[in-house]
Amino acid sequence: MCVCASRYVERLKGVMLGYTHLQLLSEMGSIIHDNPRIHVPVSVRFIVFSPKVGDRLGALAVGSVGMIVGWRGGGGGGGGLCG
């Protein structure tokens, strides 16, 4: 699971709940300078929770539903999705 799941991500303007349609755009990755990570271009759709002021949240469920909502401020300014 992504380290940015369940926290506010500035680049997404919300909380990433999951993702779908993950596709590799290349069979080859690249190593940039002396970075220990291999970079592989991908395409992905994120499922993002990003209500606006005044939005009404509702749910239809069998059984019980629980939700914890908190605010942790901005998302950081580093590289990558999670900052």
**Residue 52, pLDDT score:** 85
Kindly report which listed range (14-18, 45-49, 68-72) carries the lowest average pLDDT score: 68-72
Question: Domain containing 46: what range?
Answer: 1-83
Q: Write the DSSP assignment of 23-68 as a string of letters.
A: EES-S--B--TT-SSPB--EEEEEEEE---TT-------SS-----
Query: What value does the mean pLDDT take over residues 32-43?
Result: 87
48 has a pLDDT exceeding 70: yes
The C-alpha atoms of residue 45 and residue 48 are separated, in whole angstroms, by 9
**How is residue 7 annotated by DSSP?**
S
Number of domains in the chain: 1
Name the pTM for this structure. Answer: 0.51
Residue 74's pLDDT is what?
Answer: 45
